[in-house]
Amino acid sequence: MSIGDFSARCGLSAKMLRSYAAAGLLVPAAVDGSSGYRYYSTGQLHQARVIALLRQAGIPVDDITAFYDNPDELQLDRWEREVVQESTARRQALAEARAALAVGHEPLPARPETSRKGIEMATKVSPGTSTHIGGRETNQDAVLVGDGLFAVADGIGGLHNGEVASRLALDTLDASFNGDRSVAGLLNACREANRAVGQHQTADGGDATMGTTLVALAMTSDVKAVVLHTGDSRLYRLRRGRLEQLTHDHTVTAELVRTGELSEEDAQSHPYRHVLTRALGVNPDVDIDYAGVSCEPGDRLVLCTDGLFKVLSADELKGVLASVAEPQQAADALVNGAAERGAEDNVTAMVLDIR
Ligand code: MN
């Protein structure tokens, strides 16, 4: 068979057949000495089809050549394991990409950008914080203004459990981050906070759930501003008059809205609208989103609990943030605005001005 006929029958292009032959694979049965034309035998069709299938499975040509030089059926098992491993690694990377995107922006660079260090060290943050008990008997929200670490947490659990969980999480995060201010240190601090809340719960012996949401902005030593987030507390950024929500709530309804299974409108009255899909202190493994956040002088960031945004609309938030100059006064105006509106839940806001 000429190379053209053979190509048509086995489904490999003439170009591929030539490159395989050059690699010592599926060498033509005969070559015309004067014209240089290649001829394949019908007996080679079977091998050609197997090669086409192995290529489809992603096996490199050199590996197929080696396989035919030394046929070994166990090689198929090894390829199979490689395919499964690669697929697992790709799915893992995809899941991580999804997690990074869920927080909005600028996934962390694989290696810290040391050149940014000088810029970040020069970043000044002016905070203002405010909290209100709302219509509840206890205020289970907690705030932290640390050294380069700003956080808000909304405790979960009956009696005083929620209060204990949110405070313990923030204090543990702060102490641990102070010992290592790198991104790795921050993530480790988060794991420690998760463990501290989980262990406190176990030590208590009660079966009541204890946990907390967390939204934190950290100025790390090696990258830049990083947001950490789990649960339904939020981070917003007001930049040049535009308010952007940088976190996506980890709630049953928010996730259904994201996948298009529930409309924004129906989510407001959905029976599971308060059900969190993630929180600190609930699982042994910390389940948190993190990402780099760009902070420019003039930006105003807001960390808040759900008590605020369930009462004030995004437009109302923006209105207050754009009109009240000082961060402390802006935080008070937001929280008082929600309280005056008859907020049922605890309300907490932290306003950070980047200078
Ligand atoms: Mn709340």
Which DSSP string do the residues of 260-297 spell out, in sequence order? TSS-HHHHHH-TTTT-BS--BTSSSS---EEEE----T
Neighbour-count burial of 271, counting CB atoms closer than 10 A to its CB (0-12 exposed, 13-18 middle, 19+ buried): exposed
| pLDDT of amino acid 106 | 45
- Who contacts 90 (Cβ-Cβ below 8 Å, separation ≥6)? none
Distance 175 CA to ligand 1 centre (A): 24
Which token pair is 41?
């035998």
Q: Is 101 helix (H, G, I), strand (E, B) or coil?
A: helix
Identify the pLDDT of residue 98: 63
Q: How confident is the model at residue 207 (pLDDT cuts 50, 70, 90)?
A: low
160: CA distance to ligand 1 center in Å?
14
Structure tokens at 190: 């988060």
The beta strand positions in the chain, using DSSP E, are 30-31, 38-39, 125-132, 141-145, 149-156, 211-212, 214-219, 225-230, 234-239, 242-245, 289-292, 300-304, 347-354
Q: How confident is the model at residue 101 (pLDDT cuts 50, 70, 90)?
A: low
351 alpha carbon – ligand 1 mean position (Å): 18
What pLDDT score does 112 carry?
A: 40
Q: Fold for domain 1-117?
A: Multidrug-efflux Transporter Regulator; Chain: A; Domain 2 (1.10.1660)
Give the whole-number percent of the chain exceeding pLDDT 70.
90
Domain spans in the chain, listed from the N-terminal domain onward: 1-117, 125-354
Ligand 1 center to residue 166 CA distance, Å? 11
pLDDT digits (tens, 9 = 90+) for 328-348: 999 999 999 999 999 999 999
The pLDDT assigned to 109 comes to 44
Instruction: Tell how far the Cα of 215 is from the centroid of ligand 1, in angstroms.
Output: 13
**What's the mean pLDDT when you consider all of the chain?**
87
Condensed to tens digits (0 to 9), the pLDDT of residues 219-277 reads 988 767 899 999 999 999 999 999 999 998 988 888 888 888 888 888 888 887 778 88
Q: How far does residue 285's CA lie from ligand 1's centre (Å)?
A: 23
Output the pLDDT for position 167. 97
Mean predicted confidence (pLDDT) in 297-312: 96
The pLDDT, as a whole number, for residue 119 is 41
Distance (Å) from CA 120 to ligand 1 centroid: 32
What is the percentage of the chain residues whose pLDDT exceeds 90?
51
Q: What is the pTM of this model?
A: 0.67
Buried b or exposed e, range 195-234, using 16+ CB within 10 angstroms: ebbbebbeeeeeeeebbbbbbbbbbbbbbbbbbbbbbbbb
What's the CATH fold of domain 125-354?
Answer: Phosphatase 2c; domain 1 (3.60.40)
Model confidence at 294, pLDDT cuts 50, 70, 90, reads: confident
